[in-house]
């Protein structure tokens, strides 16, 4: 600090008193605006004026009395900054201090014509010794207004003889006529310190018209007039957000007609349509429909607000078909239970046989007339008889075997109970074949994946990441008709899968989900945060972000999302309940008995075959017997 002061003393002995007076007021006025600036470029006019500019008290204040580091340049004030070769490395987003003449500033020509609005500009008017006259003020106001209307440049502080002037684009009287807005609006006013312009000016935009677009998406529902096709009203979370921002910043929403191209697609020549196209062509001030935060290749022209919500991209496919009634009982329990049931019967028969052999060997029971293999066959049949809970007509002699049969009965009761309860469940809640659970299953199924918006699909399956993604990427198929109802096609016609936002499915297609027409693959390939978009470096960006953060802090946006979900749930439940009432009590019909009849038919066939075999066998035996006689 002391070395700086000494330097100042040595440099400007004659200006000392004046510099101190100016400095103290600048200290106060510009403290806040400078706080957020990491460094400054100080531009002094080249040639003859360089010495003079360097001794300018305001320029000296920036160079010596602030804590902000600076880089010193000389420049030609008659030449636009972009064209000045000495300033080639100047960052477009940097903040500048320029010493200029009033004539240049009023004419907005040369170095002052810059349309960059990312940085903060401090103009030091060197050739006006006293305060601005009324006439000079009006001239400056005119030129500032021109910069605002043409390029939305506003972040400028004009330092004249110790005063700081700013252009407030929202001050003044407005008669409410949108067309006449720019002519009579905006005033050059003295800056009273406090917050930097990017927040201060936007506390009250006094009804300034902003072109806002909200098109149809998950959380925004514009209603169009069926006759004229014009926007009539909007509902949804995005609309609630829009209302709150408009009220907080006090701007007038000029609602644009929803773009029929929605988000916008890039065409071969690099131009865009849709909302992105409007932003690129300066047709839109803010778009309050959520965009995925990702690279749309337009980062030079478009900015995202803070993230407002998030969502997943999920694949949905037709629900697997129902298992037909005729074979339903077979699928009532899992294959492991079937396997256990059948294998256990053989194992138990084997144990029973071991008991029998042991009994015979130890002569606990007397050897029966039948051979061992006949006894074994009898045991197998008896085991199955117990297994399917039929009574045994005669019990074995040995008590050990009887005990064993008792335990078999209990096992068969348990199996039977499991089977019967599963059977009644599947008759009431129909069973389906296995659904697509993973992306690998999806790939194996061979379904093509239809998408509507290119922005959804361009990095959905990044081919480089894995062979699976490369294969899935080949199955993507673009449906160019933005009005097509792909979900309905998938649900009714089937034969393809599609990609959509998870909440979109939960909001708009919940009836298909509840009616089990579509199935969401649980493995979702992408997760995105979602933001609104506005033109790059839009003046109101910071103010809108601040309002969005306040709403998020208060939990308002999640609340509105919950409300909307709740309303959707209530309406779909109501609609489905009417349909469902008829089917609520499932009455079993003859159709459910199909398998029983098939079994009877098969049994009859087997019995007939056995009868024929026996008949032939018996005839031959009789013939042999008569021959012997
Ligand atoms: C909003 O702007 C209108 C129009 O200029 C003005 O009359 C009104 O007082 C402003 N409202 C607030 C809350 O500042
Ligand atoms: C680019 O192509 C679109 C349609 O594909 C067309 O409307 C537009 O005029 C073209 N723009 C240029 C600059 O050629």
Over residues 246-287, the pLDDT tens digits come to 999 999 999 999 888 888 888 889 899 999 999 999 999 999
Show the ligand 2 pocket: residues with CB < 6 angstroms: 267, 269, 271
Residue 148 lies in a domain: yes
How many C-beta atoms lie closer than 10 Å to residue 89's C-beta? 7
**pLDDT score, position 308:** 95
**pLDDT score, position 626:** 85
| Whether the CB of 494 sits within 6 Å of ligand 1 | no
pLDDT band at 13 (very low <50, low <70, confident <90, very high): very low
The pLDDT tens digits of the residues spanning 25-37 come to 888 889 899 988 9
CA 603 to ligand 1 centroid distance, Å: 89
Residue 191 lies in a domain: yes
Atom of ligand 2 nearest to the CA of 270: 1
The pLDDT tens digits of the residues spanning 196-255 come to 898 899 999 888 889 999 999 999 989 988 888 888 899 999 999 999 999 999 999 999
In angstroms, how far is the first alpha carbon of the chain from the final one?
141
CA 268 to ligand 2 centroid distance, Å: 8
**pLDDT score, position 327:** 83
Average of per-residue pLDDT across 546-569 = 94
CA 204 to ligand 1 centroid distance, Å: 7
In CATH, what number is assigned to the domain containing residue 60?
3.40.50
Residue 495 lies in a domain: no
Mutate which of 202, 203, 207 for ligand 1? The one with the most ligand atoms within 8 Å of its CB, which is 207
Percentage above 70 pLDDT, the chain:
93
pLDDT at 19 over 70: no
pLDDT band at 14 (very low <50, low <70, confident <90, very high): very low
Which ligand sits nearest to residue 267's alpha carbon? 2
CA 225 to ligand 2 centroid distance, Å: 30
- DSSP secondary structure letter of residue 101: -
Mutate which of 176, 186, 206 for ligand 1? The one with the most ligand atoms within 8 Å of its CB, which is 206
**pLDDT score, position 7:** 41
How many C-beta atoms lie closer than 10 Å to residue 261's C-beta? 17
Smallest CA separation from ligand 1 atom 10, residue: 206
Q: Mean pLDDT for the chain? A: 86
Residues 40-76 as b/e (b if ≥16 CB within 10 A, e otherwise) read: bbbbbbeeebeeebbebbbbbbbbbbbebebeebbbb
pLDDT band at 484 (very low <50, low <70, confident <90, very high): confident
CA distance 323 to 603: 24
Atom of ligand 1 nearest to the CA of 250: 1
CA 176 to ligand 1 centroid distance, Å: 12
pLDDT at 2 over 50: no
Domain boundary among 162, 186, 203: 203
**pLDDT score, position 394:** 82
* Lookup result for tokens 């609520």: 584
Atom of ligand 2 nearest to the CA of 271: 1
Judge if 194 and 335 occupy the same domain.
no
Q: Which residues sit opposite 530 in a β-bridge?
A: 292, 309
Domain boundary among 203, 224, 253: 203
CA 287 to ligand 1 centroid distance, Å: 23
CA 230 to ligand 2 centroid distance, Å: 26
| Whether the CB of 204 sits within 6 Å of ligand 1 | yes
Does 580 or 288 have the greater pLDDT score? 288
Domain boundary among 186, 203, 220: 203
The pLDDT tens digits of the residues spanning 45-88 come to 988 889 999 999 899 999 988 889 999 999 988 888 888 877 87
Residue 399 lies in a domain: yes
pLDDT band at 179 (very low <50, low <70, confident <90, very high): low
CA distance 618 to 598: 30
**pLDDT score, position 290:** 93
The pLDDT tens digits of the residues spanning 130-166 come to 888 889 999 999 899 888 888 899 999 999 988 899 9
Smallest CA separation from ligand 2 atom 4, residue: 267
**pLDDT score, position 239:** 95
CA distance 298 to 279: 10
CA distance 449 to 486: 11
Q: How many domains does the chain have?
A: 3
Residue 238 lies in a domain: no
CA 539 to ligand 2 centroid distance, Å: 29
**pLDDT score, position 521:** 94
Smallest CA separation from ligand 2 atom 9, residue: 271
Smallest CA separation from ligand 2 atom 7, residue: 271
Atom of ligand 1 nearest to the CA of 204: 14
Average of per-residue pLDDT across 534-563 = 94
CA 259 to ligand 2 centroid distance, Å: 17
| Whether the CB of 163 sits within 6 Å of ligand 1 | no
**pLDDT score, position 23:** 58
**pLDDT score, position 346:** 94
- Phi/psi of residue 418, nearest 5 degrees: -60, -45
Mutate which of 264, 265, 269, 273 for ligand 2? The one with the most ligand atoms within 8 Å of its CB, which is 269
**pLDDT score, position 176:** 61
Atom of ligand 1 nearest to the CA of 174: 5
**pLDDT score, position 553:** 96
**pLDDT score, position 367:** 67
pTM: 0.80
Residue 368 lies in a domain: yes
- DSSP secondary structure letter of residue 138: H
| Whether the CB of 252 sits within 6 Å of ligand 1 | no
Distances (CA, A) of 386 to 200, 265, 349, 409, 412: 89, 71, 11, 6, 7
- Using an 8 Å Cβ cutoff, are 392 and 405 in contact? yes
Determine the Cα angle at 399 with ends 393 and 401, to 5°: 65
CA 285 to ligand 2 centroid distance, Å: 22
pLDDT band at 42 (very low <50, low <70, confident <90, very high): very high
pLDDT at 8 over 70: no
CA 587 to ligand 1 centroid distance, Å: 66
Which ligand sits nearest to residue 261's alpha carbon? 2
The pLDDT tens digits of the residues spanning 464-480 come to 778 899 999 999 999 88
Range of the domain at 177: 2-203
- DSSP secondary structure letter of residue 99: E
pLDDT at 24 over 70: no
CA 207 to ligand 1 centroid distance, Å: 6
Residue 568 lies in a domain: no
pLDDT at 181 over 60: no
Smallest CA separation from ligand 1 atom 2, residue: 206
pLDDT at 172 over 80: no
Residue 256 lies in a domain: no
The pLDDT tens digits of the residues spanning 409-451 come to 888 889 889 988 988 888 877 788 899 999 999 999 999 999 9
Judge if 191 and 340 occupy the same domain.
no
CA 249 to ligand 1 centroid distance, Å: 10
């Amino acid at each position: 600090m002391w070395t700086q002061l000494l330097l100042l003393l040595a440099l400007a002995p004659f200006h000392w008193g004046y510099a101190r007076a100016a400095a103290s007021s600048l200290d106060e006025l510009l403290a806040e605006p400078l706080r957020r600036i990491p460094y400054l470029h100080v531009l002094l006019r080249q040639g003859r004026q360089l010495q003079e500019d360097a001794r300018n008290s305001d320029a000296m204040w920036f160079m010596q009395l602030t804590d902000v580091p600076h880089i010193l340049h000389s420049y030609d004030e008659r030449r636009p900054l972009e064209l000045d070769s000495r300033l080639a490395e100047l960052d477009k987003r940097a903040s500048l201090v320029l010493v200029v003449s009033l004539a240049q500033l009023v004419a907005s020509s040369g170095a002052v014509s810059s349309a960059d609005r990312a940085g903060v500009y401090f103009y030091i008017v060197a050739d006006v010794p006293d305060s601005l006259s009324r006439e000079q003020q009006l001239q400056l106001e005119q030129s500032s207004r021109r910069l605002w209307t043409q390029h939305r440049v506003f972040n400028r502080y004009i330092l004249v003889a110790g005063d700081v002037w700013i252009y407030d684009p929202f001050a003044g009287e407005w008669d409410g006529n949108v067309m006449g807005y720019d002519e009579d609006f905006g005033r050059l006013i003295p800056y009273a310190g406090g917050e930097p312009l990017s927040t201060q000016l936007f506390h009250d935009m006094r009804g300034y018209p902003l072109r806002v677009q909200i098109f149809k998406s998950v959380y925004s529902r514009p209603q169009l007039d069926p006759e004229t096709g014009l926007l009539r009203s909007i509902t949804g979370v995005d609309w609630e957000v829009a209302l709150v921002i408009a009220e907080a910043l006090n701007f007038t929403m000029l609602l644009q007609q929803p773009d029929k191209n929605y988000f916008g697609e890039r065409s071969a020549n690099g131009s865009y349509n849709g909302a992105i196209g409007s932003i690129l062509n300066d047709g839109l001030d803010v778009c309050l429909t959520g965009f995925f935060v990702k690279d749309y290749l337009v980062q030079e022209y478009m900015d995202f607000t803070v993230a407002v919500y998030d969502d997943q991209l999920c694949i949905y496919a037709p629900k697997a078909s129902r298992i037909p009634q005729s074979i339903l009982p077979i699928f009532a329990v899992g294959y492991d239970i079937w396997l256990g049931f059948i294998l256990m019967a053989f194992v138990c028969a084997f144990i029973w046989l071991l008991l029998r052999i042991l009994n015979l060997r130890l002569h606990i029971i007397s050897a029966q007339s039948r051979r061992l293999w006949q006894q074994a066959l009898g045991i197998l049949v008896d085991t199955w008889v117990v297994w399917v809970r039929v009574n045994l007509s005669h019990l074995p002699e040995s008590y050990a075997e009887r005990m064993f049969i008792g335990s078999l009965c209990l096992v068969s009761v348990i199996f039977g109970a499991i089977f019967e309860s599963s059977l009644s469940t599947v008759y009431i809640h129909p069973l389906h074949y296995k659904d697509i659970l993973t992306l690998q299953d999806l790939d194996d199924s061979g379904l093509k994946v239809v998408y509507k918006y290119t922005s959804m699909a361009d990095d959905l399956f990044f081919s480089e990441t894995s062979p699976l993604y490369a294969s899935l990427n080949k199955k993507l198929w673009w449906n160019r008709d933005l009005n097509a109802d792909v979900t309905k096609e998938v649900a009714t016609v089937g034969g393809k899968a599609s990609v959509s936002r998870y909440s979109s499915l939960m909001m708009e297609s919940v009836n298909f989900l509840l009616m089990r027409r579509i199935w969401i693959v649980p493995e979702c390939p992408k997760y995105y945060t979602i933001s609104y978009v506005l033109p790059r470096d839009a003046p109101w960006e910071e103010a809108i972000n601040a309002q969005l953060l306040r709403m998020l802090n208060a939990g308002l946006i999640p609340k509105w999302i919950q409300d909307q979900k709740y309303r959707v749930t209530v309406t779909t439940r109501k609609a489905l309940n009417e349909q469902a009432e008829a089917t609520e009590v499932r009455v079993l019909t003859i159709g459910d008995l199909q398998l029983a009849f098939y079994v009877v038919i098969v049994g009859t066939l087997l019995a007939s075959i056995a009868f024929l075999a026996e008949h032939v066998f018996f005839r031959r035996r009789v013939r042999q017997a008569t021959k012997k006689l």
